[in-house]
Chain A
Amino acid sequence: MNADLGLWAVPLAVLGGMLRVSTPFLFVSLGECVTEKSGRINLGLEGTLVFGAMAGYGGAYLTGSPWLGVLAAGLFGVLFGLLHGFLCSLPKVNDIAVGIALMLLGTGLAFFFGKPLIQPAAPMLPAIPLGAWSDVPQVRAALEVSPLFVIGLLIAIALLFVFKRTKIGLVLRMVGDSADAARAMGYPILPVRIGATAFGGFMAGVAGAYLSLYYPGSWNEAISSGQGLIAVALVIFARWNPLACFGAALLFGGAGALGPALQSVGVTEGYYLFYAAPYVLTLLILFFTSSRTKALEGAPRELSITK
């Protein structure tokens, strides 16, 4: 059945993996992009992602509909986002520290409620067979794309439009660039930031549901390997531009797919080192794009992490 593709199998598997692995990066980074535009950073999205994976799987299992699972994951993500948003609105409470705490709490709650969900099988999200034109099974497999991937791309384009062309986007950017200016213009600072963080939570929850309901497509306690955190770094790399987030997500998806792709053609040596590729890549990118003396280009000026 398997056509012999020789070494072509590796780039093909990387392409396929890229399309599959990138989606959670895409959703988390778009959500975090909005949060950071408002001047806050939420490091807790890693915990939201894990909880979303559990809630999405549980929701799909209980209702029989994977899409209701995605919705449940998103709504729980909103709750985590609101929690972060409200806590950080208290005076003297630091957004980075609250993010770390929620990373721990979200993961703990997900494991706590997820114990009974490890065994049962939930209905999975469908796939769009973009490779149906081909006779080669590997090509077909590589080009199976999740609807969420397409939705993510559309959200990225929509966000670009919202940031550039709408009043909501302008207010969001003003709150993130200069709270004083926004206050002077009579716009409410805290509600905008809380709303932006809730949106980020929603996107991270959906990203989690993608993990448990599409790829890898099961719920277990090792479901996330830091995607939520990498995505936060990825926003910095993408310079707070939603379309650049899309490109960065593809790049990271490809890096994450490298190890499994090589494994599929029989290269098993150094599996763990390939597994570390996305982290090394993130670190290198941070190294080359950060600057000791000046604030990052395009950074929201109220953002603590780039000051």
Chain B
Amino acid sequence: MSETQAFVRPTPIGAALSKGAGESARRRLEAVLIPILALLAGLFAFGLFLLAIGKSPVEFYQLVYRGGFGTWFSLQNTMQRAAPLLLTALCVALPAQLGLVVIGGEGAFVLGGLAAAAIGAAMPDAPGLIGMPVMALAGLCAGGVWIGAVGALRHYRGVNETIASLLMAYIAIAFMQHVVEGPLRDPASLNKPSTTPLADQLRIGEIPGMDVHWGFVVGILACLVAGFVLSRTTFGFSARIAGGNARAAAVQGLPVGRLILTFTFAAGAAAGLAGMIEVAAIHGTANASLIAGYGYTGILIAFLARQNPIAIIPMALIIGGIGAAGGLVQRRMDLPDATVLVLQGILFVAILVSETLSGRLLPALGLKTTGEAK
């Protein structure tokens, strides 16, 4: 079914004139309504879960609001947390345009951080304006090659990209731990094996007047650029066709292989850049702290955003905010730290189940499919 839809899209004349205009308006309305409903349903279901274990959902959500969004301080904390998530979500959303489910962003994130830390440690005297771009490039390339390899495995050998990317994430993490405890270990790091700390001028600073590092701006820009490329350029357009039906795309002469390699490379590059930012802005070195699950949270955000790069921005802020409030909730309500994981899992299920409503929500609500909401 999706095959025919994607195939029809490039011939707008007939479709757009007859029922296409109303159809697209209806689709756009649903695209906003359904995720919001799913989010609310997920929050409600989690509230029931809290009730079942004898905790107050009202108190929980009040604390999440206070700890993640209510004050300027907590809002800045949320933005800080959202920074890497914006980029790791892109690592899922970009290949998704081609119909690929890549879930190994954690590996690209960790390798990007490692590459940036290694390059940075090797040039302690470089001025920031040269050093930081070089580190960013190292992170981009490390992550890009890693996920690009997943794309190559898929395209040239037909290896399933979902499983391959997750296996490669485990390999990347093992490699990082090997390097950090062995060849690149800073002898001064005793309890927590780490690479040599970055020189001060190589650390990413904060946006003037805020307690948020520049990585947040980079993440927002990356989402905006990705959204622009996908919706406004021929390149992005051909990707969506290939995602709808690879065979039809090949018949039309679209370079499916090149699209897959480019998108998976860009996806990994985004996650690798997130790793670089995390190293240069937060840790100052590469060590086991990089394995914090940002890659996996990015999967959730991309699905919540229904793989739309622009929608990733609000979703990353919501999920980042819940994460930022995690500590407060834990202390005040005596809940384990896995509470946030449970909430994330429930939200994830809710958004996937909501897919079943698409095309049926508005008729069910008694609205006409012409898209006019009376």
Chain A contacts to B: CB under 8 angstroms: 43, 87, 90-94, 96-98, 100-102, 104-112, 115, 225-226, 229-230, 232-233, 236, 269-273, 275-276, 279-280, 282-283, 286-287, 290-293, 305-306
Which residues of A lie under 8 Å from residue B175 when comparing CB positions? Answer: 272-273, 276
A233 to chain B, nearest CB (A): 5
Q: Determine which of A269, A275, A293 lies in contact with B158 in the assembled complex, contact meaning CB atoms within 8 Å.
A: A293
Return chain B residues, CB-CB under 8 Å to A271: 178
Instruction: Give Cα A84 to B270, complex, Å.
Output: 31
Q: Is the CB of A96 within 8 A of B101?
A: yes
* CB-defined contacts of A276 to chain B, threshold 8 Å: 170-171, 174-175
Sorted nearest first, the 9 A-B pairs with minimum C-beta distance are: A105-B345, A108-B341, A111-B338, A276-B174, A101-B348, A272-B178, A90-B356, A108-B342, A112-B338
Across the interface, do A279 and B153 meet the contact criterion of CB distance under 8 Å? no
Q: Is the CB of B156 within 8 A of A292?
A: yes
A105 with B346: CB separation less than 8 A: yes
Residues of A within 8 A of B69 (CB): none
Q: How many residues of B contact A (CB 8 A)?
A: 45
Q: Is the C-beta of B74 less than 8 angstroms from some C-beta in chain A?
A: no
* Closest Cβ neighbor of A90 among chain B residues: B356
B window 131-189: CB within 8 A of A = 153, 155-160, 162-164, 166-168, 170-171, 174-175, 177-178, 181-182
Q: What are some 24 contacts across the A-B interface (CB < 8 A)?
A: A91-B356, A93-B352, A93-B355, A93-B356, A97-B101, A100-B299, A101-B349, A104-B300, A105-B348, A106-B345, A107-B341, A111-B336, A112-B342, A226-B170, A270-B178, A272-B181, A276-B170, A276-B174, A282-B163, A283-B168, A286-B163, A290-B158, A291-B158, A305-B160
Given A279-B174, A283-B167, A109 and B355 touching (CB < 8 A)?
Answer: no
Q: Is the CB of A101 within 8 A of B345?
A: yes
A sample of 13 more A-B contacts (CB under 8 A), given A283-B159, A286-B163, is A93-B356, A94-B355, A97-B303, A100-B101, A104-B296, A108-B341, A108-B345, A112-B341, A230-B167, A233-B167, A290-B158, A290-B159, A293-B158
Residue from the list A87, A96, A306 in contact with B162, Cβ < 8 A: A96
Q: Give Cα A275 to B345, complex, Å.
A: 28
B residues with a Cβ closer than 8 A to A are 101, 103, 153, 155-160, 162-164, 166-168, 170-171, 174-175, 177-178, 181-182, 296, 299-300, 303, 336-346, 348-349, 352-353, 355-356, 358
Taken together as a complex, chains A and B put the C-alpha atoms of A225 and B173 apart, in Å, by 12
- Asked if B336 contacts A115 (CB within 8 A), the reply is yes
Say whether A92 contacts B356, CB under 8 Å.
yes
Tell me, rounded to whole Å, the shortest Cβ–Cβ distance linking A278 to chain B: 9
Are A97 and B345 neighbours in the complex by a CB distance under 8 Å?
no
For residue A273, give the distance in angstroms from its CB to the closest CB of chain B.
5
Which chain A residues lie closer than 8 Å to B103 at the CB level?
100
Measured CB to CB, the closest approach of chain B to A292, in angstroms, equals: 4
A87 touches B299 (CB 8 A): no
How far is A273 from B181 in the complex, measured between Cα atoms in Å? 11
Are B159 and A112 in touch, CB under 8 angstroms? Answer: no
* Complex-state Cα separation, A232 to B162, whole angstroms: 11
Complex CA–CA separation, A305 to B159 (angstroms) = 10
- Chain B residue numbers with a CB within 8 Å of A108 are 338, 340-345
Instruction: Let me know if A102 and B174 touch, CB within 8 A.
Output: no
Q: Are B344 and A279 in contact (CB under 8 A)?
A: no
Q: How far is the CA of A109 from the CA of B340 in the complex (A)?
A: 10
Write out the residue numbers on chain B whose beta carbons fall within 8 Å of the beta carbon of A305: 160, 162-163
**Which of B167, B181, B303, B339 has a CB less than 8 Å from the CB of A282?**
B167
Say yes or no: B352 contacts A287, CB within 8 Å: no
Q: How far is the CA of A100 from the CA of B341 in the complex (A)?
A: 13
Contact yes or no, B160 A101, CB < 8 A? no
When distances are taken between beta carbons in the complex, the residues of chain A under 8 Å from B348 are 100-101, 104-105
Q: Which A residues touch B296, using CB under 8 A?
A: 104
**Given known contacts A276-B174, A286-B163, A305-B160, is B342 in contact with A90 (CB within 8 Å)?**
no
Minimal beta-carbon separation of B150 from chain A (angstroms): 10
| Min CB–CB distance A144 → chain B (angstroms) | 28
B169 to chain A, nearest CB (A): 9
Closest chain A CB from B147 CB (angstroms): 14
Q: Collect the chain B residues with CB atoms within 8 Å of residue A112's CB.
A: 336, 338-339, 341-342
The complex places the Cα of A100 from the Cα of B238 at a distance, in Å, of 28
Which of A94, A105, A230 has the most chain B CB atoms inside 10 A of its CB?
A105
List chain B residues, Cβ under 8 A from A97: 101, 303, 352
Collect the chain A residues with CB atoms within 8 Å of residue B355's CB. Answer: 92-94
Chain B proximity of A148: nearest CB distance (Å): 25
The residue that A286 contacts in the complex, of B156, B159, B337, B349, with Cβ under 8 A, is B159
A233→B168 CA distance, assembly (Å): 13
Expressed in whole angstroms, the Cα–Cα distance for A226 and B158 within the complex equals 22
Please give, as numbers and ranges, the residues of chain B lying within 8 Å of A98 by CB-CB distance. Answer: 349, 352
Partner of B159 from A101, A115, A225, A287 at Cβ < 8 Å: A287
Query: In the complex, what distance in Å separates the CA atom of A230 from the CA atom of B163?
Result: 8
Residues of B within 8 A of A111 (CB): 336-338, 341
Q: In this complex, which of A94, A106, A108, A290 has the most chain B Cβ atoms within 10 angstroms of its Cβ?
A: A108
Name which of B101, B153, B303 has the most chain A CB atoms within 10 A of its CB.
B101
B34 to chain A, nearest CB (A): 11
CA distance A228 to B349 in the complex (A): 19
Smallest CB separation, B43 vs chain A (Å):
15
* Docked pose: A291 CA to B158 CA in angstroms: 5
Nearest chain A CB to B49 CB, angstrom units: 9
Residues of chain B within 8 A of A107, CB atoms compared: 341, 345
How far apart sit A290 and B338, CA to CA, in the bound complex (Å)?
Answer: 37
- Chain A residues within 8 Å of B338, by CB: 108-112, 115
Q: In angstroms, how far is the closest chain A Cβ from the Cβ of B165?
A: 10
Closest to B335 in A: A112
Complex Cα distance, B60 from A61, in Å, reads 31
Q: Are B164 and A272 neighbours in the complex by a CB distance under 8 Å? A: no
A271 to B175, CA, bound (A): 10
